[in-house]
Amino acid sequence: MSADLFDGAYPDPEPETPPPGLGKDAQRTWRRKRMLERGAHPATGVPLKGNGETCGSCRFLWPKFANTFSGWKCELAAHGNKDGPDMVKSWPACNWWEAPRNA
C-alpha cells in the first residue's frame, strides 16, 4: 500500500508470518529463508559470520543418533539437558563458528 502512495520509495516490509495455506514444513522453510535474508542463522538466530564457512566445518557441530533420529546438533545451541535445534551442515556459519581443533 505505501508503495502505491509514494511511488515505491517506501516498500511495504516483508510479512513476519508465512502466507496462509502452507504446510508445517513449508512454513518452517519460509521462516528459515527470512532469517537468512536478515543475516541471522536459521536455527540459533545468531548473526551470520560471513566468512564463507558452513555449520559443517564448525567444531561445535556433532552427530546425534538416537532411536529413530539421526542428524546434526550444535553444542552451543543446546540448553540444559536439551540437545538444541536440528542443524544443517550446509547452512552458513554463525558468529559462534570456530575451526575444528587439531587432534
d(CA 1, CA 65): 49
Give residues with Cβ within 8 angstroms of 27, minimum separation 6.
Answer: 18
pLDDT at residue 65 is higher than 80: yes
Counting Cβ atoms within 10 Å, is residue 46 exposed (0-12), middle (13-18) or buried (19+)? middle
Whole-model pTM: value is 0.75
Average pLDDT, the chain: 86
CA distances from residue 64 to 61, 69, 85 in whole angstroms, order as listed = 10, 7, 12
pLDDT digits (tens, 9 = 90+) for 13-51: 556 788 888 899 999 999 999 999 999 999 999 999 989
